Chain A
Amino acid sequence: AQRVTQPEKLLSVFKGAPVELKCNYSYSGSPELFWYVQYSRQRLQLLLRHISRESIKGFTADLNKGETSFHLKKPFAQEEDSAMYYCALKSSGGYNKLIFGAGTRLAVHP
């Protein structure tokens, strides 16, 4: 079965602390993984894709096929990073069908 697991509902850190939002997946083959973010009163939007190997707003995510993980990391959290973060897997059904994790709320305190 294709599945995305985000084990933490809430991650609370202080400003300047490192952040790691966990994401594990279940998929046969080469997965395509994404992180989406929803800031307060804003729309859900794409943060980054594993295939791009990019850093967006200081966030990076590395695909670890051995551990079937795609954790989102940032070395120094900022208050504006507070948001809901969703890990998503492109379904083998193709096109734009994404399987989302339950999401993790990141709260960055001053």
Chain B
Amino acid sequence: KAGVTQTPRYLIKTRGQQVTLSCSPISGHRSVSWYQQTPGQGLQFLFEYFSETQRNKGNFPGRFSGRQFSNSRSEMNVSTLELGDSALYLCASTKAGGLPGELFFGEGSRLTVL
């Protein structure tokens, strides 16, 4: 089975721009979560989607948004980028009926904001 796939793997943006990141979960997985990883704050939960509905949200400003499609693929968007948004963005999927807390992570999308 293919793992969680995230695109793009690397990207560079400038302040004020917006960015969209994509995540394809493992086949059959219906839940997708997003995490931000930075050296200062570590891994922080952004949001989780299940069956195209956001069912959990972390403590991030409204500039961070996401959605999930009917095929379980998910996207997250960050608008009006700030320097502090530079981070590794990790996507994780979970299978329905799977072990609680067992997240399958992608390799991440590394965003640099200049």
Interface set of A (CB-CB < 8 Å, partner B):
32, 34, 43-46, 49, 51-52, 86, 88, 90-91, 93-103
Contact = CB atoms under 8 A, between A and B. Distances in A.
8 contacts: A43-B4, A46-B102, A49-B102, A96-B48, A96-B56, A97-B45, A102-B42, A103-B43
Interface residues of B, number: 26
Contact of A95 (B31, B90, B99, B104): B31
Given A98-B45, A103-B43, 10 more contacts: A34-B101, A43-B3, A45-B104, A46-B101, A49-B100, A95-B31, A95-B48, A96-B56, A96-B94, A97-B45
B42 A97 contact: no
A59 to B, nearest CB: 16
B105 interface: yes
A44 B90 contact: yes
Interface string B25-53: 00000010101000000111100101000
B55 interface: yes
B45 A43 contact: no
B56 A94 contact: yes
A32 B100 contact: yes
B66 interface: no
Closest 10 interchain pairs by CB? A100-B43, A44-B105, A102-B42, A43-B105, A97-B56, A34-B101, A97-B45, A46-B102, A96-B94, A90-B101
Contacts of B43: 86, 100, 103
Nearest to A50: B101
Given A91-B45, A95-B55, A103-B42, A49 B101 contact: yes
